[in-house]
């Protein structure tokens, strides 16, 4: 074993290694907390001064990270945070946990990875371990990150060590978290894998080593493309059931009773979050670069991307059933975060819906107890909005309420009373009244809807 690898392994095992986390968002902060909890003096790096201030004051801005944990680790001196990349010179390991969004053309935007890697490369010293966690296409670690880190003459696998380990966090999941979700690790060399595995084993429950960074990169894309494709299939089934007058939710529940060979997925207003709407496009982009057309994946993407437009058509039809036009109607979007009981609005289909509704002339509002304000920059041609408490809404306040995110804090009985018609995209209402339209279900007749308004 090279001397640099042996020394770093001893530092990791003795808890004397100093880890650093670049990017303190939904992935980076929980990881920094786990390293600090494991006994490492851990440093977080982020250009957002507000995040650094919060951590320095012992506060958390991530729902899945209790403020008490941050405060305790700050008091112990095992968790610090800074905007200054010069601290990298003092670190032994660095995890890159920065965003990897898509451009408007659906091509990968790796500018955050490049920026972070260049900042690390300027301060890289022999014996350091660098691990990329940001979701990206197979080949990013060795094609993009490696050349940047080697610019100053140090060689990976000999002078420093490089690996990829995909983040697998699920915001809002009370069962699985950073500590107990297995960590997949693929290093550039065997020593790179061994060192990354040793680091994660100190802070997480289990580690799954694979043969290369490309395998590890592909693992993450497979996981989320699997979900995207199956959601696309069930969304298309919902459109079909709408035409056939069949309740897709009843169909799925009945199919789910089969104890083998079936896994239930559910339709919705579109994909949201930091991974599932993005990762399949990373994979299909890389496939096209290699001369391969990922037709199945791109078809699912097209189906999922069209769902907000379908929801708008449901809203228009529901309003029409009570003799109201969409243009000029008061429409409230219930839930703007991308999933239940979280505050994350990244890639939320609610953003598309708000833009489409406003473009059609609707007077839009939203209610989301997890998102107190919504900046207009988050949605096309948007305006700044504030959360509306539906508990204060009088009966018939809105012409239509569309349930986009099924938060547990919504009172769905009161919600139904607050609007003339309701469009439920999540099957959130257990006992829907005659004014409720659901995705993929038989629609109320105009007579039923009119009776509910009367």
Over residues 82-133, the pLDDT tens digits come to 999 999 999 999 999 999 988 777 778 899 999 999 999 999 999 999 999 9
Q: How confident is the model at residue 454 (pLDDT cuts 50, 70, 90)?
A: low
Which residue of the set 97, 192, 275, 400 is catalytic? Answer: 275
Look up residue 146 and give its two tokens.
Answer: 């490696």
Look up residue 249 and give its two tokens.
Answer: 């939710």
Q: What is the mean pLDDT of the segment spanning 393-412? A: 95
Q: What is the mean pLDDT of the segment spanning 32-58? A: 97
Phi, psi angle pair for 218, to nearest 5°: -70, -30
Residue 148 in contact with residue 128, Cβ under 8 Å?
no
Positive or negative CA dihedral for 312, 333, 352, 437?
negative
Look up residue 2 and give its two tokens.
Answer: 């090279």
Distances (CA, A) of 323 to 329, 357, 399: 11, 18, 11
CATH tag for 3-220 (out of 3.30.559.10, 3.40.50.20, 3.40.50.720, 2.40.30.20): 3.40.50.720
299-453 is classed in which CATH architecture? 3-Layer(aba) Sandwich (3.40)
190-201 and 3-13 are packed helices; what angle lies between their axes, rounded to 10 degrees? 10
Positive or negative CA dihedral for 162, 166, 171, 174?
negative
What b/e sequence results for 84-112 when a residue is b if at least 16 CB atoms lie within 10 Å of its CB, and e otherwise?
ebebbeebbbbbbbbbbebeeeeebebeb
Looking at every residue in the chain, the average pLDDT score rounds to 93
Cα-trace Rg, the chain: 24
Residue 29 above 60 pLDDT?
yes
Q: What is the mean pLDDT of the segment spanning 36-56? A: 97
Q: What is the mean pLDDT of the segment spanning 228-243? A: 95
Over residues 130-151, the pLDDT tens digits come to 999 999 999 999 999 999 999 9
Please list the residues that pair with 95 across neighbouring strands.
21, 131
295-320 and 213-244 are packed helices; what angle lies between their axes, rounded to 10 degrees? 40
Domain ranges of the chain: 3-220, 299-453
> In what helix (H) or strand (E) does residue 64 lie, and over which residues does it extend?
none
In DSSP notation, 132-191 reads E-S---TTHIIIIIHHHHTTTS--BTTTBEEEE------TT-SS--TTTSPEEEEESSHH
Annotated active-site residue 275? The verdict is yes
Q: What is the mean pLDDT of the segment spanning 295-324? A: 94
Phi, psi angle pair for 322, to nearest 5°: -115, 25
List, in order, residues 6 or more apart from 390 with CB less than 8 Å away: 332, 334, 367, 401, 410, 411, 414, 415, 418
Give the SS3 label for residue 369.
Answer: coil
Phi, psi angle pair for 57, to nearest 5°: -95, 5
Instruction: Check residue 293 and give its pLDDT.
Output: 86
Q: What is the mean pLDDT of the segment spanning 334-343? A: 94
Instruction: Check residue 21 and give its pLDDT.
Output: 98
Fold identical between 3-220 and 299-453? yes
At CA 100, angle to CA 98 and CA 104, rounded to 5? 145
pTM value? 0.90
């Amino acid at each position: 074993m090279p001397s640099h690898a042996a020394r770093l392994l001893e530092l990791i095992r003795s808890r004397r290694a100093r880890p650093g986390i670049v990017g303190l968002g939904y992935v980076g902060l929980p990881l920094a907390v786990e390293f600090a909890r494991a006994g490492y003096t851990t440093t977080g790096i982020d250009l957002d001064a507000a995040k650094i201030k919060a951590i320095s004051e012992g506060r958390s801005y991530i729902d899945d990270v209790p403020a008490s944990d941050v405060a305790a680790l700050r008091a112990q001196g095992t968790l610090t945070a800074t905007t200054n990349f010069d601290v990298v010179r003092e670190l032994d390991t660095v995890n890159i946990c920065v965003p990897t969004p898509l451009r408007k053309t659906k091509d990968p935007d790796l500018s955050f990875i490049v920026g972070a890697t260049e900042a690390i490369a300027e301060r890289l010293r022999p014996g350091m371990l660098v691990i990329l966690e940001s979701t990206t296409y197979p080949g990013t670690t060795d094609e993009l990150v490696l050349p940047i880190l080697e610019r100053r003459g140090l060689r990976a696998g000999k002078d420093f060590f490089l690996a990829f380990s995909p983040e697998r966090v699920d915001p809002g999941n009370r069962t699985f978290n950073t500590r107990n979700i297995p960590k997949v690790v693929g290093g550039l060399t065997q020593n790179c894998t061994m060192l990354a595995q040793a680091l994660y084993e100190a802070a997480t429950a289990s580690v799954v080593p694979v043969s290369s960074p490309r395998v590890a990169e592909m693992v993450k894309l497979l996981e989320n493309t699997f979900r995207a494709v199956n959601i696309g299939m069930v969304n298309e089934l919902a459109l079909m059931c709408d035409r056939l007058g069949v309740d897709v939710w009843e169909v799925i529940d009945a199919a789910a009773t089969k104890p083998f060979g079936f896994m239930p997925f559910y339709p919705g207003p579109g994909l949201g979050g930091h991974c599932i709407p993005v990762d399949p496009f990373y994979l299909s982009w890389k496939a096209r670069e290699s001369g391969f057309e990922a037709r199945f994946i791109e078809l699912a993407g097209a189906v999922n991307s069209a769902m907000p437009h379908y929801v708008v058509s449901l809203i228009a039809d529901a309003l029409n059933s009570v003799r109201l036009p969409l243009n000029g109607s008061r429409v409230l979007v219930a839930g703007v975060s991308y999933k239940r009981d979280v505050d994350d609005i990244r890639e939320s289909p609610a953003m598309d819906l708000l833009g489409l509704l406003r473009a059609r002339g609707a007077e839009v509002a939203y209610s989301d107890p997890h998102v107190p304000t919504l900046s207009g920059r988050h949605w096309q041609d948007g305006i700044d909005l504030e959360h509306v408490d539906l508990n204060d809404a009088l009966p018939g306040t809105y012409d239509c309420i569309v349930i986009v995110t099924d938060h547990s804090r919504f009172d769905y009985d009161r919600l139904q009373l607050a609007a003339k018609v309701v469009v439920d995209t999540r099957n959130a209402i257990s006992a829907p009244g005659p004014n409720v339209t659901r995705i993929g279900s038989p629609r109320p007749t105009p007579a039923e809807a009119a009776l509910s308004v009367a």
